Amino acid sequence: MKTILTGDGRTLSITPQTGFFKQNTALAMENKKIFTDAGIIAVDILGSVGAGKTTLAGALVAYLKGQKRLAAIAGDLTTEIDAQRIRAQGAEVLQINTDKGCHLDANMIKNAMDCLNLSNLDIVLIENVGNLICPSGYQLGAHHRMVVISVTEGPYQVVKHPHIFQDVSVVVINKIDLADVMEVDPQKLIADIHTIRPGIPVILTNGRTGQGIAELATALKLDK
């Protein structure tokens, strides 16, 4: 910070220049280091309300639980419903209620990490608040960010929200069973995603049957 007094000595120019997201980003880096040092892979799951984030987190738990020790952190405005749904699949789950917050932030994750026994875990799945806008600005310290879109959101979800894809490592197109009824062509969604992020893995899933879950676990490097 610099403070400059003008020539006539009557006005001051103060230049704080501290980024509003800086503290969160720094804390996210600390979280990531803690996860990494504990040998944990953390995944931040983004997507609209109803896209299938909880269903897919549950499906990943069901698929991996024999070989990996999993926990999940579920973010929602209120209720414990999602935590219970993932817990039912066989993982330890913490619910974070953000009250009115539209996203999780690194500090909430840090607090949640304090409640988990990290030395007993291999994978932590973090379900972010259902929102395709705000969570993007707040890194949590996960190794992967995955965005879940579903065909029920229509054919223009990708072109309407291109920026959510800026730093994700895997994209899921869920509810693939409903593509025909919704008259949504998944290949077109893939082409749109690849325009924004050439070459990024895009996995087609049916969260209810488990179709595509093995492929998703591989894309996130969770099954190694």
Partner 1 sequence: MHETAIAQSIIDTVMTHADKAGAKHVDKVEIEIGELTFLGIDQIRFWIENQIAGTVAEKAEWIFHSVPGGIRCPACQYEGDIKTAETEDHFRLPVFACPECGQANIEITQGRDAWIKAIHVEID
Ligand X SMILES: Nc1nc2c(ncn2[C@@H]2O[C@H](COP(=O)(O)OP(=O)(O)O)[C@@H](O)[C@H]2O)c(=O)[nH]1
Dihedral sign, Cα of residue 148, residue 223, residue 93, residue 25: negative
In the complex, the smallest distance separating the C-beta of residue 210 from Mg ion, rounded to whole angstroms, is 18
Q: Output the smallest distance, CB 28 to partner 1, in A.
A: 12
Residues forming the site for partner 1 (CB under 8 A): 3, 9-22, 25, 100-103, 133-134, 136-137, 159, 162-163, 165-167, 188, 191-192, 195-200
CA distances in angstroms from 174 to 52, 189, 219, listed in the order given? 7, 11, 15
Which of 48, 115, 54 has the alpha carbon at shortest distance from 82? 54
Binding window for ligand X (CB under 6 A); candidates: 22-30, 48-56, 102-110, 160-168: 48-56
Position 54 contacts Mg ion (CB under 5 A): yes
Residue nearest to ligand X (CB): 207
Of 71-110, binders to ligand X (CB under 6 A) are: none
Q: Which H helix or E strand runs over 35?
A: helix 22-37
Q: Which stretch binds ligand X (CB under 6 A): 28-36, 64-72, 137-145, 174-182?
A: 174-182
Minimum distance, C-beta of residue 90 to partner 1, in the bound complex (Å): 34
Q: Tokens standing for 7?
A: 């020539």
Q: Which two tokens stand for residue 183?
A: 């008259």
Q: What is the CA 113 to chain-centroid distance, rounded? A: 16
User: Which entry of ligand X, Mg ion, partner 1, none binds 178, CB below 5 to 8 A by partner kind?
Assistant: ligand X
E strand or H helix at 95: strand 92-97
Extract the tokens encoding 91.
């993982």
Q: How far is the CB of 2 from ligand X (least distance, A)?
A: 46
